[in-house]
Amino acid sequence: MAKYPKIPEATIRRLSNYLKCLEDLEAKGEKVASSSHLATICNVNAAQVRKDFAYFGEFGIRGMGYNIKELKDHIKEILGINREWRIAVIGIGNMGSALLVYKDFLKQNYRIVAAFDIDPSKVIGHISERMGRPVEILHIDRLKEVIEARKIEIGIITTPPQEAQKVADLLVEANIRGILNFSPAPIRTPEPVKSMNLFFTAALDNLVYHLTNN
């Protein structure tokens, strides 16, 4: 906790991105990357790259650059994704079903180990037929019990907006640590529970602003 000094939020977001780029470089067989190379790929300034890493330690070799494998491990440790995170998805409509089989989660140590809905019988046909039933859909009444039993730390909300805050409250009661909310209604959670709201239309609004005003 508070292992590092105060880090700009923008730096944290870039770390995810560096990691992705480093994985691509590694896939191409590269072993070392300089700050300026990484900067070009990630569309940022080279000094920014160095400063971002320097917040957390001295990871590079002067005259050489950064060892890709090592740097990846450092970033994973900084972000806290150097271990498995167990996740529950609540609300198994179209979006929830899509997340249950979202390949990129698995690759990254994010494991969906429970799925809940208010009417599991309705979705079972859909899920099993198309996706091979990745996890059993449970009734939301079992939320607290199952979250505790399966040591789940993160909840993803994909319910209709009217239900989002209610589900968030249930998750908090079940001692969840963090919530990612995909529903279009923002949720609030009391300390120390962290929550993030992720709205698709906000991204579209942003895109449209730039189409309209540039």
* Rounded least distance, CB 112 to a copy of itself, Å: 11
Taking the CB of residue 137, how many other CB atoms lie within 10 A of it? Answer: 25
Q: Choose between 34 and 197: whose C-beta lies nearer to a copy of itself.
A: 197
Count of residues binding DNA (CB under 7 A)? 27
| Per-residue burial over 43-62, b = 16 or more CB atoms within 10 Å of its CB, e = otherwise | ebeeebbbebbeebeeebee
Query: What is the distance in angstroms between the CA of the first residue and the CA of the last residue of the chain?
Result: 43
Euclidean distance between CA atoms 81 and 132, whole angstroms:
27
- Any contact of residue 64 with DNA (CB under 7 A)? yes
Q: Choose between 8 and 186: whose C-beta lies nearer to DNA.
A: 8
Measuring CA to CA, which residue among 94, 130, 135 is closest to residue 116?
135
By CB under 7 A, the residues from 16 to 35 that bind DNA are 33-35
Which pair of tokens denotes residue 214?
Answer: 């540039």
- Any contact of residue 120 with a copy of itself (CB under 8 A)? no
Which pair of tokens denotes residue 74?
Answer: 């450092």
Q: Return residues touching DNA (CB under 7 A).
A: 6, 8-11, 33-36, 44-48, 50-51, 53-54, 58-66
Q: Return residues touching a copy of itself (CB under 8 A).
A: 1-4, 12-13, 15-17, 19-20, 78-81, 85, 93-95, 97-99, 101-105, 108, 110, 126, 130-131, 153-154, 160-161, 177-178, 180, 184, 186, 192, 194, 196, 198-214
